[in-house]
Amino acid sequence: MCGIVGYIGSREVSNVLVDGLKRLEYRGYDSCGVAIMEEDGPTLVRSVGRIGNLEEKLRGIAKTGQFGIGHTRWATHGRPSEDNAHPHRDCTGRFFVVHNGIIENYLALKQGLIAAGHRFVTATDTEVIPHLIETYYDGDFEQAVRRAVQDVEGVFGIVAMSAVGGRSIVAARKGAPLVLGLGTGENFIASDVPPLLPYTREVVFLKDGEMALISNDNVELKDFHGRSTPRRSETITWSAEMAEKEGYPHFMLKEIHEQPRAIRDTLAGRLDAAGNVTLRNELGATPAFMTAEQIHIVACGTSLHAGLIGKFLIERLARIPVHVDYASEFRYREPLVGPKDIVIGISQSGETADTLAGMKEAKDRGAFLMSICNVVGSQASRVSDATIYTHAGPEIGVASTKAFTTQLAALYLLALHIARERGALPPDEIRRHGQALRAAPDQIRQVLDLSPMCESLAARFAKYPSFLYLGRGIQYPIAMEGALKLKEISYIHAEGYTAGEMKHGPIALIDGEMPVVVLAPRDSVYRKTMGNVEEVKVRDGIVIAVATEGDNEIEEKADHTVFIPEASAFIYPILTTVPLQLFSYYMALQRGCDVDKPRNLAKSVTVE
Ligand code: AGP
C-alpha cells in the first residue's frame, strides 16, 4: 500500500521526507514524490521507480524548506507514472495532497469539478481532493480541507499542505491509518510508525473521522465538524522491524488480519449500499459478455484455486460454461479457444510466467482477454483488454492470503456483473448477493477471533506428517487451498480432495493417525459432507471440522470444530479459508519454519 510522510520543523525537510519514505519501502511502491515549501514557494519533485531516483532529482533542486509532504505510491487508479505519482496539485499550484486509500465517488466529483472549469492532469482518484480544496478555499486552509473531506466517499488518509495561509500541514483520516509523531519544535505525520522512529516515540494515532492541524510547536485534533478531540500521546516501544509489520511477528499474519480491510477496498466503488454491482469503470459496456459462448480461466497455485471458485460462481449466477486450466498446461494442449470466448488470467503479481504465456496463447487465438490482478501496471494488466484490480495492497508474505480472498470477492462481483449484463438474474437477486458481499468484511473479523483456537490446534497437531483436506462444491477449491497453504509454509504433506472422491482412493489412508480437515458449512451439500465425516470417523480418522456456528450435530461427531458465523452460501469460501490460513501459520511456527520466506519458493514465479 502507499506510504505517507509529512514534516514541519527546522531540520532539512527533504532529508526527513526521503528518509521517511525509505522506511516505508517495505509496503511496496512503484513511484514516489515530495512537495516542499520553501521561502520562495513550493517545490514538487516526483519520480517513477525507486526512491533513489527521487533522491537523484532532489540533489539538483531545493534542499532546505520549512515543511513538506511525501508519498510512495502503489498504483490503484492510473498506471505507475510520474504524473500519477503523489503529491497532487490543484489548478493554481497552491494546494498539495498525498492520499492513501480509494475515493469511491471520484468520478462523479471529477465530472462536477471539470464542469466547474477545473483541469485534471492525472488518472488518479486522489486529484479530486486538491481541486476540492481549491474550490472551498476562502483564506482558511483547514476549513477548506474539512469541507473537501466531507464531499469524499471511500477510504482515505490525507495529508495536505498549502502555499498560502500559514505554516501548517492538515491531515484527515477515514479508514486509512495516520499517526502523528510529536517532537520539540517539530512534528511529524505518517501512514505508519517506521518513519517516526528516528525522531520520536511519542505518537498519536488518528481516529476515523478525525483531522489534525500540525504546526512546529502544536498539534490540534478535531473531528470533521471542527469540534476539538483532544487526546494524550502514547509512547511506543516497537523496534523498526516490529513497526514494519505493525506489531505482528510476520507479514503473513499481518496480511491475514488485513483481509477485512482488503476486501472492503476490493468492493469500494463497485458495490453500493443497496447491493448494486458495477464494474463499468473496469469493463465498460463490453459486448464480449453479451455474446461469449464460454469463459476460460488460466492461473497458477492459489490464484488457480480462486479460478475454480470463479467457475462455480460464474456458472451458477451468469449461466455460462467456464473452464479452468493450470496456466502451465493450457498453452500446450492446443486449447479450443476463439474470438467468441473470454479468457481470464488470474494473478496476484501479474508477472507469473506460466499465466502470462497462457494469456498470450488466448490472445493469439482471438479471445477477449481479461485479468484479475493485484498489481497495477503489471504485465498481466498490460496485455489484457480489461482488468479488475483486487486492491489488496502489496502482499509480502510468500504464502498468498489476502490476495486470494480479494480475488474471490472480485470474482463474485464479476459473476454478478455478467449475470446482470446477460439478464441471467433479476436485479433484486443481484442486490441480495451484493448485500451478502458487503457483510463479508465484518464476518471475516469474527473469524479472526478464532486465532487462539487455531493456534492451540496447531500445537496439538504439529507433529503429524500428513493431512487430508475435504470439501464439496464451492468448498472443494478451499480444501485444495488449505492443503497448499499447509504444504508451502510448514512443509507437511497435505492433499485437498473433493469429499465425494475420498471413497475412490484416499480413504485407504484413513486410520487413527490421519487428521482430516473437513469444510462443512451449512450449504446445499452439507448433508453429503456429513456422510463423509461419518466415513472418516468409522475408520478412526481424526476430524477437524470447519462448520457454521450452532451446528451441534457436527460438533458431536468431529474431534475438533472451528465455528464460523452463519453467512450466505457463496460467502462461505471466504470465511472457511481464514481458519485454514491461521492453522497453517501456527503449524509453521510450531515447526520453526520461515513463515514469510518458505524454502524453495518465490513470491512471483517469473520463469516457466
Ligand atoms: C500462493 O501461496 C503461492 N505462493 C503460489 O501458489 C502463487 O499463488 C502462484 O505462484 C501464482 O502467483 P500469482 O497469483 O502472482 O500469479
pLDDT 10s digits, 252-298? 999 999 999 999 999 998 999 999 998 988 887 777 888 888 999 99
What does DSSP assign to residue 196?
Answer: G
Of 308, 400, 580, the one to substitute when testing ligand 1's pocket (max ligand atoms within 8 A of C-beta) is 400
Place of cell 513497526: 243
Distance of CA 352 to the CA centre of its chain: 19
What DSSP element (H or E) covers 241?
Answer: helix 240-244
Residue whose grid cell is 488449505: 482
d(CA 537, CA 534): 5
Question: Residue written as cell 532546505?
Answer: 64
- Number of helical (H) and strand (E) elements in the chain, helices listed first: 21, 24
- Distance from the alpha carbon of residue 349 to the mean position of ligand 1, in angstroms: 8
Predicted confidence at residue 290, as pLDDT, reads 82
pLDDT at 80: 86
Handedness of CA 250, 251, 255, 258 (dihedral sign): positive
Q: Are 208 and 178 in contact (CB under 8 A)?
A: no
Torsion angle in degrees (nearest 10) through CA of 477, 478, 481, 485: -170
Q: Which three cell numbers stand for residue 422?
A: 446477460
pLDDT along the chain (608 residues), means of 10: 91 93 84 91 92 89 80 86 94 95 91 96 94 96 96 93 89 92 96 90 93 95 94 82 83 96 93 91 80 94 98 96 95 89 95 92 93 88 93 90 98 96 94 97 96 97 96 97 97 95 91 95 94 93 96 95 96 98 98 91 75
pLDDT of residue 331: 83
Report the pLDDT value the prediction gives residue 1, as an integer from 0 to 100. Answer: 65
Active site annotation includes 91: no
Cβ proximity of 509 and 497 under 8 Å: no
- Ligand 1 centre distance from Cα of residue 507 (Å): 29
In ligand 1, which atom is closest to the CA atom of 484?
A: 2
Angle formed at CA 43 by CA 39 and CA 45, multiple of 5 degrees: 155
CA–CA gap between residue 499 and residue 497 (Å, rounded): 6
Q: Point out the ligand 1 atom lying closest to the alpha carbon of residue 349.
A: 15
User: Rounded CA gap, 292 and 419, in Å?
Assistant: 12
Query: What pLDDT does 74 receive?
Result: 85
Task: Assign 337 to helix, strand or coil.
Answer: coil
> Which ligand 1 atom sits closest to the C-alpha of 380?
16
CA distance 100 to 206: 14
Cα separations (Å) of 53 from 57, 59, 67, 76, 86? 6, 10, 21, 21, 15
Contact 389, 76 (CB under 8 A): yes
Q: Which of 293, 154, 171, 282 is nearest to 224 (CA)?
A: 171
Rg (CA), the chain: 25
Q: Please answer whether residues 444 and 260 qualify as being in contact, where contact means their C-beta atoms are separated by less than 8 angstroms.
A: yes
State the catalytic residue, choosing from 2, 32, 300, 373: 2
Strands (E) in 54-198, as ranges, are: 67-73, 88-89, 95-103, 154-162, 169-174, 179-182, 187-190
What is the per-residue pLDDT across 300-359, written as a single tens digit (0 to 9) for each? 999 999 999 999 999 999 999 999 999 999 988 888 999 999 999 999 999 898 999 999
CA atoms within 13 A on the CB side of 585: 28
Cβ(399)–Cβ(598) under 8 Å? yes
| Residue 2 annotated among the catalytic residues of the structure | yes
Task: Give residue 535 CA to ligand 1 midpoint distance, Å.
Answer: 33
Q: Is 39 exposed, middle or buried (0-12, 13-18, 19+ CB in 10 A)?
A: exposed
Q: Which set of grid coordinates corresponds to residue 227?
A: 469540534
CA distance 16 to 263: 33
Write down the pTM of the prediction.
Answer: 0.81
For the chain, the farthest-separated pair of C-alpha atoms sits apart, in whole angstroms, at 82
Query: Which residues sit with their C-beta closer than 6 Å to ligand 1?
Result: 300-303, 347-349, 352, 355, 398-400, 488, 601, 604-605
Task: Report which protein residue has its CA nearest ligand 1's atom 5.
Answer: 301
Instruction: Give the position of cell 493469439.
Output: 364
At residue 2, the pLDDT reads 85
- Give the three cell numbers for residue 322: 467456464
Residue whose CA lies nearest to ligand 1 atom number 4: 399
At 405, give phi and psi (nearest 5°).
Answer: -65, -30
User: Model confidence over 425-465: pLDDT tens digits?
Assistant: 999 999 999 999 999 999 999 999 999 999 999 999 999 99
- Sequence-separated (6 or more) residues with CB below 8 Å from residue 576: 471, 475, 478, 519, 521, 546, 564
Helices (H), 346-472: 353-364, 379-383, 402-421, 427-448, 451-461
Please provide residue 248's backbone torsions phi and psi, each rounded to the nearest 5 degrees.
-80, 150
Q: How remote is the CA of residue 385 from the centroid of ligand 1, in Å?
A: 22
- Cα–Cα distance measured from residue 215 to residue 109, given in angstroms and rounded to the nearest whole number: 30
Residue 352 Cα, ligand 1 centroid: separation in angstroms?
8
